[in-house]
C-alpha cells in the first residue's frame, strides 16, 4: 500500500478524508524538525529510516504472508461476504468494507503474529534509535 506519516503535514495541500492518507516520501523541511519536540522527532526519524532501509516493505510483506498463512485472510473474506450480502453486490463501496472489516481485522490478528511483528519492530528500534 502507501507509506504514511502519522502526524499532520500542514504545508501540503490536499483533501484528507477520514480513512485516506497522503503518500509522502520521507523528506523533512528543516523548519519542521525544529518545531517538533523530541518525541515527534524520534518518530519522524524512525519512520524515515523504516522507509529508507526498506524495512517497512519487508514488514508489510511479512505481515501479509503470516496473515494469509494463519487463515486470517480467509476469515476476513468471509466477513466481507457478509457485508456484500448485506449491502448488495452492486452497491457495496470500499467505505462499507473498510468500516466493517478494519476493526474486526485488527482484533482477529493472532497473538503469535502480533508478537513476531512487535519483536522485529523492537529490534529495528533498538538498532536505529539514537
Q: Residues of 79-110 as b/e, b for ≥16 C-beta within 10 angstroms?
A: beeeeeeeeeeeebeeebbeebbeeebeeeee
At residue 66, the 3 state secondary structure works out as helix
| Residue 106 C-beta: closest distance to another protein, Å | 6
Query: How buried is 50 (Cβ within 10 angstroms: 0-12 exposed, 13-18 middle, 19+ buried)?
Result: buried
At residue 36, the 3 state secondary structure works out as coil
| Residue 111 C-beta: closest distance to another protein, Å | 13
Span of 10-18, 27-35, 115-123 interacting with another protein by CB under 8 A: 115-123
Q: Which of 24, 26, 36, 117 binds another protein (CB under 8 A)?
A: 117
Binding-site ranges for another protein (CB under 8 A): 1, 4, 6, 19, 39, 42-43, 46-47, 50, 59-60, 63-64, 67, 73, 76-77, 80, 84, 89, 92-94, 97-98, 101-102, 105-106, 109, 114, 117-118, 121-122, 125-127, 129-130
Amino acid at each position: 500500500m502507501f507509506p504514511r506519516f502519522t502526524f499532520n503535514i500542514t504545508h501540503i495541500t490536499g483533501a484528507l478524508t477520514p480513512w485516506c492518507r497522503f503518500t509522502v516520501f520521507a523528506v523533512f523541511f528543516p523548519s519542521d524538525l525544529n518545531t517538533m519536540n523530541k518525541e515527534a522527532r524520534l518518530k519522524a526519524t524512525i519512520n524515515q529510516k523504516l522507509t529508507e532501509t526498506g524495512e517497512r516493505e519487508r514488514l508489510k510483506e511479512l505481515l501479509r504472508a503470516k496473515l494469509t498463512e494463519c487463515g486470517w485472510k480467509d476469515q476476513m473474506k468471509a466477513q466481507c461476504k457478509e457485508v456484500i450480502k448485506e449491502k448488495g453486490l452492486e452497491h457495496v463501496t470500499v467505505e462499507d468494507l473498510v468500516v466493517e472489516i478494519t476493526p474486526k481485522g485488527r482484533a482477529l490478528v493472532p497473538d503469535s503474529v502480533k508478537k513476531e511483528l512487535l519483536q522485529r519492530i523492537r529490534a529495528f528500534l533498538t538498532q536505529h534509535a539514537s
